[in-house]
Structure 1
């Protein structure tokens, strides 16, 4: 069902609407730079673009091109350059899954380890920094989708969005590629390299390297879960934002290794003794099809590998055991996460979700627990199979996973939990023609934080919610506590407090776990 591969609002817009978006010499300390469009770094000078309320420096290499002998290896430092490098356009996307790439492989390259930086106008003050990790099931997406000028201008923060290796080149865990237990996770290592680059260079752009928040949505949120527990990420950030992330969907090393052996054989590298050299010599196009590790229902996922040197323990277990970084955390989900994936399957593959299909859908997704799930989520309560199935997966794979992590994290650190609950959020036109409502589905909150391009306009009430969300997020990045002027105070998670983000007035609720049947799901998992 490939539901994890359509993980951002813009991916949906592209799939359905074909929408594509395409400081002089350092001044003395305390004085403004002679040219705000030019920044000097240890690697060389960069020329970006300057607008009235923000600056953008795009396509900055943070690591060496991971090609040739560097393929399937941890990233190395980016080489320096002579003269002034143009930083006005985002770099190419990393290799994408050809089966779900809305741009059909265009604008991609194996040489893709770049980042984009949005800053407020120049001042003497060092601004806090948010490092944004894009979603896309670890097989699609790019940092360039997320135009962060609103956060930079209104929120007065620096935003860094990054590319990282995806799919096979990002996560193949063939045992010939490294020492025992030290394979896979190249994409995760890229993210760590980007965080180190931010630590070492962001001050040149007016950012404060001591106030860095790592943030992401969906696969990007899963990555944030990993950074909370990964040894190589320790000390690289001071706060974390986890949006709509099924952080339980990690691959154990034995499974990932076997799937990687099978994949290598399928692309013509069957001999483990020569597989490493063979895989590194293949044309990049031979590696576009992702390696799949973990199944969720009828779908397969790639991504980070646990039981490894980079990620010894899966993040959900490590968080439960109190072994996560003790930094403030914002965590949340959307009210109707899974309706997006049901809608895409309906539109693209013609699935009509008839009552006779319901038992099979639940069996594919929940295995031996399917009968109990069917009894808890009867069709007649929701009005259709599509909505009953969406509610079950929303609760079991998103809402209650986040609720459990919030409770575990809150034992040791401040946690702020939210639910995005605008059930009239803007969607591409085809999603508005479905026989069931999409509601506040997966990725739709991103439209309220980023200028994703091609989105339908917000209503006045939704625009007010967008401004409040930008204020909440930027205040959390700045102070570790979300606040938004006249908007409601956002309490810590405590005994289950959530901020329900709604255009008719956001409000604090303690009924999230009950509404999403989390006691039921907790019982199934034990």
Structure 2
């Protein structure tokens, strides 16, 4: 005779004690071994607080990929703050990348999944109490992934541990519909993922040979904006000792009211207009239906989602916080590329087939700034060889990136050491990945191949570029090790990285017309 199957509640009672004992055992065992010195001597297996991971050991570095730093944000955990990762038995394979977070058409065809909250750890072959660089990828908060950034050179030549992170993107990372958090704060899930990753680093990086007390956070573009947010976010305090902001227009932040409106409209467009059932409706949608992102703010007319200012996660906008002295007082490197906006303009022209022509120049400026004639008077076409695209891109670069970085550096330097740089190598191999009917100059993202490898995506460096890469890696890793870039004056001057050498300039503000932009009011 077969005994009747236990009811759902009875099954839960039968399982709970066993599962509890197993989980507690795993946590205690992993915790006891997490800081073992044996893990840092070139072994392919490292014990973390959640379990063992088996990575790859190469000739001069080790790489551990796809390590979960949080529980999968799926089902009821979709649009919830990240939870701690669940322990596992045995060795977890960490020899290949985990899926990236859901995004529309990843540039290199990488796999995506909602179960994406993972990170990658690069170390020298042997490592003991080395400084740590945590890299936050860019991609307008809608695309990208930590696995794109091959950090072996930063790790081996800088004698440091490098961590690259995935975090939730687009609607899944930043939707601020109040229905999703009736008793709390909606939005900022991707930013909280980054904080959870930093907590994982604090608790686990010693097992990989890193020093949890010597963490530098760095990011480019949306990653740079994220670094700005961490400088003023209460939940990020104490998790890093220095920061690098690369091409981050940190003045562009979403207000809570604007994000809520955009998010509610987004929910309605996706069939979840009823406020009483919106949360359940949204969580029932396939991730593939949520790849279009709400737009909370714009940088030079380019809309994107992102972190929301207001509430406990991000109570103040970064630039306001910097000016008020609310940023954590740590050493900071702030930098831009000389021609940031040509990258975005090239994308716009490719999509619309409408380049900026001389007869459309003032109108194009007006669409962004309101008073296009005033801007055109400071950016006359004659200074750009009559090329309206170059002139337009220069105006947007200066207002949205260069002078914004100057403002950030000025505010931060009132309380902590700051170093500023400009990347100005128009020969970057990244240029080959972008097609434009005008010169790109040293555009957005163009410095990245000098710090990371993008094998199969970006061509190799020539000898002059390799020398520039050597200088930049030495500067970045020197900052991570000591909190001060080697042979680089503090802000007041700007370090310029060029293919023909490295120079120091005190004319950065004048070159980018920052006096004009400081007094300019958009209409």
Q: What TM-score, normalized to structure 2?
A: 0.90
Q: Aligned partners of 1:114, 1:174: CA distance in 2, in Å?
A: 25
Q: Secondary structure at the match of 1:129?
A: strand
Q: Secondary structure at the match of 2:406?
A: helix
1:102 to 101, 107, 111: 107
Q: Runs of 5+ in structure 1 lacking a partner? A: 1-24, 484-488
- 1 or 2 for the larger relative contact order (CA 8 Å, sep ≥6)? 1
What's the CA shift for 1:26? 6.2
Deviation per residue, 1:405-442 (Å, 9 max, x gap): 001100100001000111222235364x6442211110
Deviation per residue, 1:303-336 (Å, 9 max, x gap): 0101122111110111111110100001100011
Alignment of 1:64 with 2:71, yes or no, is: yes
The answer to whether the 8 Å contact 2:154/2:451 transfers is yes
Q: Aligned partners of 2:271, 2:504: CA distance in 1, in Å?
A: 56
Report matched runs for 1:100-139 at 5 Å.
Answer: 101-102=106-107, 107-123=111-127, 125-139=128-142
1:504 alignment partner in structure 2: 500
The answer to whether the 8 Å contact 1:425/1:439 transfers is no
Report matched runs for 1:220-369 at 5 Å.
Answer: 220-367=223-370, 369=371
2:89 alignment partner in structure 1: 82
Q: Secondary structure at the match of 2:59?
A: coil
Q: Secondary structure at the match of 1:241?
A: strand
What's the CA shift for 1:352? 2.5
Q: Secondary structure at the match of 1:444?
A: coil
Report matched runs for 1:373-412 at 5 Å.
Answer: 373-383=375-385, 384-412=387-415
Q: In the superposition, relative to structure 1, how do residues 178 and 34 fare at CA in structure 2: closer, same or farther (>3 Å)?
A: same
Q: In the superposition, relative to structure 1, how do residues 328 and 179 fare at CA in structure 2: closer, same or farther (>3 Å)?
A: farther
Q: In the superposition, relative to structure 1, how do residues 50 and 26 fare at CA in structure 2: closer, same or farther (>3 Å)?
A: farther
The answer to whether the 8 Å contact 1:181/1:253 transfers is no
Root-mean-square deviation over aligned CA pairs: 1.9
2:98 to 82, 91, 94: 91
What's the CA shift for 1:360? 2.5
Q: In the superposition, relative to structure 1, how do residues 157 and 371 fare at CA in structure 2: closer, same or farther (>3 Å)?
A: same
2:490 to 492, 506, 514: 492
Q: What TM-score, normalized to structure 1?
A: 0.90
Q: Aligned partners of 1:197, 1:226: CA distance in 2, in Å?
A: 19
Report matched runs for 1:136-151 at 5 Å.
Answer: 136-151=139-154
Deviation per residue, 1:174-220 (Å, 9 max, x gap): 01122577110000000000000000000010000000001000000
1:5 alignment partner in structure 2: none
The answer to whether the 8 Å contact 2:433/2:458 transfers is no
Q: Secondary structure at the match of 1:154?
A: helix
Q: Secondary structure at the match of 2:303?
A: strand
The answer to whether the 8 Å contact 1:148/1:451 transfers is yes
- Structure number, greater radius of gyration: 2
The answer to whether the 8 Å contact 1:143/1:161 transfers is yes
Q: Secondary structure at the match of 1:325?
A: coil
Q: Aligned partners of 2:91, 2:433: CA distance in 1, in Å?
A: 45
2:519 alignment partner in structure 1: 523
Q: Aligned partners of 2:35, 2:301: CA distance in 1, in Å?
A: 60
What's the CA shift for 1:53? 1.1
Q: In the superposition, relative to structure 1, how do residues 305 and 430 fare at CA in structure 2: closer, same or farther (>3 Å)?
A: closer
Q: Which stretch of the first structure deviates more once superposed, 231-240 or 459-468?
A: 459-468
Q: Aligned partners of 2:388, 2:489: CA distance in 1, in Å?
A: 36
1:155 alignment partner in structure 2: 158
Q: Secondary structure at the match of 1:524?
A: coil
Deviation per residue, 1:77-118 (Å, 9 max, x gap): 0001000000011110101135xx4357x5111110000000
Q: In the superposition, relative to structure 1, how do residues 265 and 392 fare at CA in structure 2: closer, same or farther (>3 Å)?
A: same
Q: Aligned partners of 1:218, 1:57: CA distance in 2, in Å?
A: 25
What's the CA shift for 1:348? 4.3
Q: Aligned partners of 1:304, 1:27: CA distance in 2, in Å?
A: 33
1:51 alignment partner in structure 2: 58
1:3 alignment partner in structure 2: none
2:185 alignment partner in structure 1: 182
Q: Runs of 5+ in structure 2 lacking a partner? A: 1-31
Query: How many residues align structurally?
Result: 489
1:473 alignment partner in structure 2: 476
Q: Secondary structure at the match of 1:213?
A: strand
2:448 to 446, 454, 467: 446
